[in-house]
Amino acid sequence: MKSKKLWAKLIFVAVLILLIIYVLRDSAGPIFKQLKNTSVWILIAVCVSSVIYHMIEAWITYSLAKRYNPGFRYVRAVGCAFYCSFYRLATLGSGSGVAAVYFLGRNGVEYSKGTGLYMIQYVVHKVSIALFSGVLFLINWHFMVMNYHEYEVYLGLAYGLTIIIAIALILVSVSRKVHELLLKLVSLLNKSGKLDSIAAKLEESCNILSDTTSELLKEKGMLFSLVLKNFIKCCFWYGIPFIVLYGTGTITLLQSLAVCSLAVMTAAVIPTPAGIGALELIMTTLIGVVAGVDMGGATMLIYRFATFVFPFIVGGVYILLTKNGKRLHQS
């Protein structure tokens, strides 16, 4: 079953890639010409930016994991960040959560606690992106309205769906009544007993989430800290277009943060594996409006390398250095 799902994802991604190639067929030459002219210093800068992103992600993991294992070290959290990035690409997005829980479990955090930790981290991350994008849109209001008014319907729909998803994630995280409702719905659909295993997993997940969120909500400072760290983290990925286009005068740092966060947020509401296909088209389009399609396409490819491929390579090296992940920082 798992192999069938993986093949289905691979076929879907292949179709998306072919679609992207077809849409950008007339711009492929100029895009690759721009890539060829990209300075090695720009590539180094975006990779450094990606490393800093993962170090802040590790900071978030560390601040949560040490609550359950006081001996959990920051260096292990850095390993966890790149370990998850490896499996994010290796499984096309579906395996990063399992990888995180497994890694934490191997490093002294009970699997039930690790599951709750990852769920909270995921929810706060998604909500933070929505808030970050909204704040940066308002800060760059004139620039955004002037350049993207023809996409206002699509962008408005993306914001609307993002708000709905964010509210749903928050309710699922903190409301026991929502948990009870979900369990009742599954119970109604499970009269034949075929969904017993799903119902059991859902009940377990709800209990874990309730316990974790009830602990976290008692510490408002911790919650604010997590959102703030996510905001800082986002700057190092969403500022990559500014690094790539630095010196061209086409986009400022704040504008880069607004456009890139908007692209990521919009792509997130389109159900594609790891956002592949959706992000490429949206980012190329949005950046292409201010920098031209050739620079938009080149920027998108460099962004994908820095945020997807480079962390995958680092994660792969990390796994090899830790004996294929079987011994994770035993020191």
Residue 217: pLDDT band (50, 70, 90) is: low
- Predicted confidence at residue 325, as pLDDT, reads 45
- Predicted confidence at residue 248, as pLDDT, reads 87
Instruction: Tell me the pLDDT tens digit for each residue of 8-55.
Output: 655 655 665 566 555 555 555 566 667 777 889 999 999 999 999 999
Mean local confidence (pLDDT), 191-216: 75
| pTM score of the predicted model | 0.86
Residues 6+ apart with CB under 8 A from 237: 49, 50, 53, 260, 303, 306, 307
Q: Which of 316, 304, 196, 310 is nearest to 260 (CA)?
A: 304
**Residue 151, Ramachandran bin (φ over 0: left; ψ between -120 and 50: alpha; else beta):** alpha
Instruction: Tell me the pLDDT tens digit for each residue of 98-154.
Output: 899 899 999 988 887 888 888 888 888 988 999 999 999 999 999 999 999 888 888
The answer to whether residue 275 scores a pLDDT higher than 80 is no
Buried/exposed 172-193: b ≥16 CB within 10 Å, e otherwise: bbbeeeebeebeeebeeeeeee
Mean local confidence (pLDDT), 264-273: 84
Q: Computed from CA positions of residues 170, 123, 260, 164, in that sequence, does the dihedral angle turn out positive or negative? A: negative
| DSSP per-residue letters across 309-327 | IHHHHHHHHHHHHTTTTTS
Token pair in block for residue 45: 């800068």
Quick one: CA torsion of 135, 278, 270, 250, rounded to 10 degrees? 20
Q: Computed from CA positions of residues 137, 140, 141, 145, in that sequence, does the dihedral angle turn out positive or negative? A: negative
Using CA atoms, how far apart are residues 67 and 50, in angstroms rounded to an integer? 27
Determine contact, residues 38/298, Cβ cutoff 8 Å: yes
- Predicted confidence at residue 166, as pLDDT, reads 83
Residue 198: pLDDT band (50, 70, 90) is: confident
Using CA atoms, how far apart are residues 206 and 267, in angstroms rounded to an integer? 28
Position 97, amino acid: G
Using CA atoms, how far apart are residues 151 and 208, in angstroms rounded to an integer? 41
Using CA atoms, how far apart are residues 276 and 178, in angstroms rounded to an integer? 31
Determine contact, residues 80/95, Cβ cutoff 8 Å: no
| DSSP per-residue letters across 79-138 | HHHHHHHHHHHHTTTSSHHHHHHHHHHHTT--HHHHHHHHHHHHHHHHHHHHHHHHHHHH
Token pair in block for residue 257: 């943060």
- Predicted confidence at residue 215, as pLDDT, reads 72
Using CA atoms, how far apart are residues 253 and 240, in angstroms rounded to an integer? 9
Mean local confidence (pLDDT), 237-248: 93
Using CA atoms, how far apart are residues 158 and 152, in angstroms rounded to an integer? 10
Residue 322: pLDDT band (50, 70, 90) is: confident
Instruction: Tell me the pLDDT tens digit for each residue of 163-173.
Output: 888 888 878 77
The better pLDDT of the pair 71, 271 is held by 71
Picking from 20-29, 38-47, 187-196, 316-325, which range would have the lowest pLDDT averaged per residue?
A: 20-29
- Predicted confidence at residue 44, as pLDDT, reads 94
The answer to whether residue 330 scores a pLDDT higher than 50 is no
The answer to whether residue 161 scores a pLDDT higher than 70 is yes
- Predicted confidence at residue 4, as pLDDT, reads 61
